[in-house]
Amino acid sequence: MITVVFPAWYAALSKEEAKKSGNRMKLALTIFLYRKLFGIDWDDLKIAFISDEHREYEGKTVLDAAKEEGLKPLDMYLKLVELSDRKGSIFLGKYYNDEIVKRLMEDDLSIFITDAWVEEKGLQNIAAFQTFPQFFVLAKKYNMPLETIVRKMTGAAADRFKIADRGYLRPGFKADITVIDLKNMAVNEQVPDAKPEGIAHVFVNGIRAVSDGKFTGKTAGEVAKKKPYQAPALSALPLKHRLRDLSIEEVD
């Protein structure tokens, strides 16, 4: 949300109180401290959506917009907050870089998930479209075992969040299956909502949603409701059986 660095105390002020010099100085100091704490700056705040009447800001950073309009970055940010009625969206840069991602991928305790969703309007979050294919691309780059990558984004994630009946190819489990073409896997980081290459087939709850890389028009997703959960005892199985359970197979 655009209010990510917008303090609650300032939001509670009336427009008249908010314009007072003392409150503006306090606001400037508060946001400065937020930026230092998070390690971000105005050129790291990319505008995703303000309103239907102000689509011209989409894709620009707060700093870019400020320069174009001859405003200070803080004033530009406050203008955007007001124009969007505090409901706009921005994306934060510097959350990660190649070094951070590589270290996290190699950590035994890490799992691969995303909390991104497809926006109705505005700039899309790349994580909603290309996160998991990107992990496969990086795995090839860093020479990481394929079974490790699959495990982190399926069974390990289901175990961590205690999601029953998912994350494994087993009798009685939900048939959520993705068939990939690893050799041709590719993403486009310059276009957030680009279709990743290398996704051959997708089954959701046993229903084919993607066939030969094309959406079939069928939807079968459902909310994963809380159920009694028992962690699969994979560690007690021989390695070859654990890999077989994950259904890892490379096809030339």
Rounded percentage of the chain residues whose pLDDT exceeds 90: 47
Residue range 71-104, pLDDT digits in tens: 999 899 989 988 988 888 888 766 667 888 899 9
pLDDT, position 251: 42
Higher pLDDT among residues 67 and 239, named by residue: 67
Question: What local confidence, expressed as pLDDT, does residue 114 receive?
Answer: 87
- The pLDDT, as a whole number, for residue 212 is 94
One DSSP character per residue, the chain reads -GGGG--HHHHTS-HHHHTSHHHHHHHHHHHHHHHHHHT--GGGEEEEE--GGGGGGTT-BHHHHHHHHT--HHHHHHHHHHHTTT--EEEES-S--HHHHHHHHH-TT----------SSSSPPTHHHHHHHHHHHHHHHHT--HHHHHHHHTHHHHHHTT-TT-SS--TTS---EEEE-GGG-B--TTSTTPPPB-EEEEEETTEEEEETTEE-S----------------GGGS-HHHHHHHTT-----
Lowest-pLDDT range of 100-104, 139-143, 231-235, 244-248? 244-248
Q: Which residue has the higher pLDDT, 7 or 188?
A: 188
Tokens 């029953």 sit on residue: 164
Q: What is the dihedral of CA 237, 242, 244, 250, to 10 degrees?
A: -150
**Residue 112: per-residue pLDDT:** 92
Q: What is the pLDDT of residue 231?
A: 65
Q: pLDDT at residue 115 above 90?
A: no
pLDDT of residue 234: 53
Whether the model pTM is above 0.85: no
| Residue spans per domain, the chain | 2-92, 98-245
Whether residue 63 has pLDDT greater than 90: yes
pLDDT for res 232:
62
pLDDT tier at 44, thresholds 50, 70, 90: confident
